[in-house]
Chain A
Amino acid sequence: MTQKHEPGECRCSRGLTRRGFLSTVGAGVAVASAAGKLAAQPAASQGADVLPSAEMTPITLNINGRTHRLLVEPRWSLLFVLRERLGLTGTKVGCERGECGACTVLMDDLPRYACMTLAVEAQGSEITTLEGLMRGEELGGVQQAFVEEDAFQCGYCTPGQIMAVEGLLRAHPEPSQEEIQMGLSGNLCRCGAYVHIFKAAGRAAQLKRGQ
């Protein structure tokens, strides 16, 4: 599982923009004022709040073991928020229509396309991105396997492939060849490095078992 990092040693924090992002510390005032605005919205008879169109709304996302409180528009995808608001650029933009797999992340251990997931819908789930597979400065098992097996050419699809393998191995620690191929069937590699990618998935299963 992912290690929890102290805020000071989180590698992802380099890419953070101050605009739009409210760190856990010191976010109280801004969140409170935005929440105050929300409370003034007429909700459908005491039910859940309606998040207004084209306005920033505070949400909480659990990403790589850290809690992030930030402001989002309802229409923002999880992919957009990860990259453009949180600087987690390990998750790649590909087709943005749920066909290529470059943006694969885990939500509650299951691979999902971040481009087809609204950020507001991701609240309440444990989100894992490529950055979350790191063990401090060391590569995680799946990442290491991709290096060992030379499982990429241009490398653009690689983060998504790695996350799909990570999700597969969390559900099936000892996958068959067919399970590997089916598990990766939602990720395209236009360089055609599939043979090495499948090998890397098998190697990753070994590494995760400590072999």
Chain B
Amino acid sequence: MLPNFSYVRPKSLDEAVRHLDSPENRIHAGGTDLLGCLRERVFGVAKIVSLSGIQELKGITETAEGGLRIGALATLREIAESPLIRSKYPVLAQGAAEAASPQLRNQGTLGGNLCQKPRCWYYRGDFHCLRKGGDLCYAMVGENAFHCILGGDACYIVHPSDTAPALVALGATVRITGAGGPRTVPVEEFFVPPTQDLTRETVLEHNEILTEILLPPPPQGLRSSYRKVRARRSWDFALAGVALALQFRGEEVAGGRVVLSGAAPIPWRSVEVEEVILGKRLDAETISAAAEAVVKNAEPLAQNDYKLPLFRAIVEEELSAIAKV
């Protein structure tokens, strides 16, 4: 049984923000992550503020500039099946399709997928770990097969989202509304690494709501893809993943981003790979150098050095595949 809480389903954003007047009050979008955290007593809750009655948070529409506006409540299923997203931003449709299970994709939202809590078993379990205000990251010396190889610092979670790397790769932004008014943040700057602040995963304040995700118009020559490796085919979080959004000029990579999932506490932009491939044709030599570069700065823990060959392999395979599109 879940802990006790009061519940409200406001009809407007303003009203929802007014209900977020305490950090004890929590936002419910799809609820799949929230209810899991409450059941596992990861955090407490006084009031649940449901967004499901707010129409303006729904829908996927083209913007006047030729980009896309995705309401934060668009479900992962809607993202995965949207003809617009599949044709213009395949990396995002693929990321959404690879996330969770059919049932969870029918319920979970894109906004919620960006705001989900870490999946570290010490964080989710009955451990008063560093991120929960304790003084030790149990993963540092404990069972750390599924933890990060990049960007760890005192805390070694991996970011669990499959859509976030796609959105970072595409240069998306999020719109946020709160008591202090609206603001826009690049998805790349939305996530907070442990080096910056151990106690939070995003820049979202307790009284703010992520309202929409904005995709820029696809640049000329854009090719994009998402690859995810997991322990079983049916459904699981990524052991290793790579989102590519590259702009080609002829056969040459003229720009774009390479973003990793399953690697770091935040969706991890691999500047090392980008530097190798920028301005180059994706021939065997370049691809081989890129595969080495992806783990150049990796610092694996005792049980997760298997991720190094995994990342090398998927970077090699995905770059080879995208070169042939």
Q: List the interface of chain A (C-beta within 8 A of B).
A: 44-45, 47-54, 73-77, 80, 96-98, 101, 104, 107, 110-113, 116-118, 120-121, 164, 167-168, 182-183, 185-186
Contacts and interface: CB of A to CB of B under 8 A. Distances in A.
A114 to B, nearest CB: 9
A53 B28 contact: no
B244 to A, nearest CB: 23
Interface string B15-44: 100110000000010011001100110000
23 contacts: A44-B8, A47-B10, A48-B9, A50-B6, A51-B6, A51-B8, A52-B6, A53-B5, A75-B1, A75-B3, A76-B2, A77-B35, A98-B35, A98-B36, A98-B104, A111-B102, A117-B107, A120-B7, A121-B31, A121-B52, A164-B103, A186-B102, A186-B103
Interface in B38-60: 39-40, 46-48, 50, 52-53
A116 B106 CA distance: 12
Interface string B75-118: 00100000000000000000000001111101100000000000
A112 B48 contact: no
Given A48-B10, A50-B6, A53-B4, A185 B235 contact: yes
A119 to B, nearest CB: 10
Contact of A50 (B8, B77, B233): B8
B220 interface: no
Sort A-B residue pairs by CB-CB distance and give the 6 closest, nearest first: A186-B101, A74-B7, A47-B15, A185-B234, A75-B2, A110-B106
A158 B40 CA distance: 27
Contact of B101 (A51, A53, A75, A185): A185
Contacts of A121: 9, 28, 31, 50, 52
Given A45-B18, A98-B36, A121-B52, A53 B11 contact: no
B31 A104 contact: no
Given A50-B47, A116-B32, A118-B35, A183 B5 contact: no
